[in-house]
Amino acid sequence: MINGNKVLFSGMQATGSLTIGNYLGAMKNWVALADEFECFYCVVDMHSITIRQDPAELRRRARKLLQIYIAAGLDPEKSCLYYQSHVSGHAELAWILNCFTYMGELNRMTQFKDKSAKHADNINAGLFDYPVLMAADILLFQADVVPVGVDQKQHLELTRTIAERFNNLYGDVFTVPEPYIGKVGAKIMSLQDPARKMSKSDENPNGSIYLLDDPDTVARKCRRAVTDSEGMIRYCAEQPGVSNLLDIYSACTGKTPQEAEKEFDGQGYGVLKDAVAESLNAILQPLQKRVAELEADKAYVDRIIRDNAEKAQYYSTKTLRKVQKKVGFPERPRIK
């Protein structure tokens, strides 16, 4: 608990370009959570280097992601928006937790197997150890709740296991986090393959709409979206492409998919695709304008980075010192 509120932790990797799936499925809901929780939203740059990155590009993307957080409506005076690499406690706690995590547990992580298959020339220890750093991210702030997607549930379960194992040995040190079950974010699928989730790493650029795509690009990608040959607009499993467009439209307008289905009853796919593009641009253009303003106000963004890093460092240090004492490390002298 911080200031009488439960703590929520989440973050996004500073790789690739964020899609409307990232926004509609997660970030849009984060904004409302600031009134309910003490929120820490991390720009996940340490996890990002398990795959080779261009250094200058990683720095650029990390700053852009922080700007998008703010532009999406996250208040940096209320929620803590910070770079993972600016808080040394992430790495320090991860090492300690490594010593309380078993090889067999890490061997069972499906994401390691998936990423190893994609990056067979760079199966590094960091990729294998990724879940322990993720556990450190969460436990460092004594997070009560963590919003997780399907692909991260296994990692949160491991986090809970590690926390309980440590607590059983040393007492009540870590808060054991729960998955956050709140308003369900829209699950946005690829425009070119509605069986797969929309991804910022999609090799087909027409499959994803990115938050910084211009209006013409958004319209073009929507027009190229896969539908089918039925010629009817129905929200059903038999029409995954059409259903995906209805999900996007609903998430943008606040309507239910069933209401959207009725709205387009008897219309052609072209009408639906144009409406989806229009609803997306109504959200993306204000966000892009705010990002441009933040890019121009370097001093403000630099202040947010500095102040939020100090806040994150303060709360992380409280946990880290407690853990270090429990495992027997000598007390650190205070350095002036």
Q: Which of 200, 255, 322, 326 is catalytic?
A: 200
Q: What is the model's pLDDT at position 183?
A: 63
Rounded mean pLDDT of the chain? 92
Lowest-pLDDT range, 121-130, 188-197, 265-274, 320-329? 121-130
- Does the structure show a pLDDT above 90 at 270? yes
- Distance from C-alpha of 71 to C-alpha of 49, rounded to nearest angstrom: 25
- Does the structure show a pLDDT above 80 at 321? yes
Lowest-pLDDT range, 113-122, 264-273, 314-323? 113-122
Q: What is the mean pLDDT of residues 260-289?
A: 95
Per-residue pLDDT tens for 132-183? 999 999 999 999 999 877 667 888 999 999 999 999 999 999 999 999 876 6
Contact 308, 80 (CB under 8 A): yes
Per-residue pLDDT tens for 49-91? 988 899 999 999 999 999 999 999 999 999 999 999 999 999 9
- Does the structure show a pLDDT above 90 at 222? yes
Per-residue pLDDT tens for 169-218? 999 999 999 998 766 567 899 999 999 999 887 888 899 999 999 999 99
197 is a catalytic site residue: yes
28 is a catalytic site residue: no
Q: What is the model's pLDDT at position 327?
A: 97
Contact 29, 185 (CB under 8 A): yes
Closest C-alpha to 233, from 288, 272, 190, 196: 272
Closest C-alpha to 73, from 302, 283, 256, 280: 283
Q: What is the mean pLDDT of residues 87-113?
A: 91
Half-sphere exposure of 118 (CA within 13 A, CB side): 13
Q: Which of 64, 197, 221, 273 is catalytic?
A: 197
Q: What band does 127 get if pLDDT is binned at 50, 70 and 90? A: confident
- Distance from C-alpha of 13 to C-alpha of 35, rounded to nearest angstrom: 24
Q: Which of 6, 28, 64, 115 is catalytic?
A: 115
Strand order across the beta sheet in which 178-179 lies: 80-83, 38-44, 7-13, 145-146, 178-179
The reported pTM is: 0.90
153 is a catalytic site residue: no
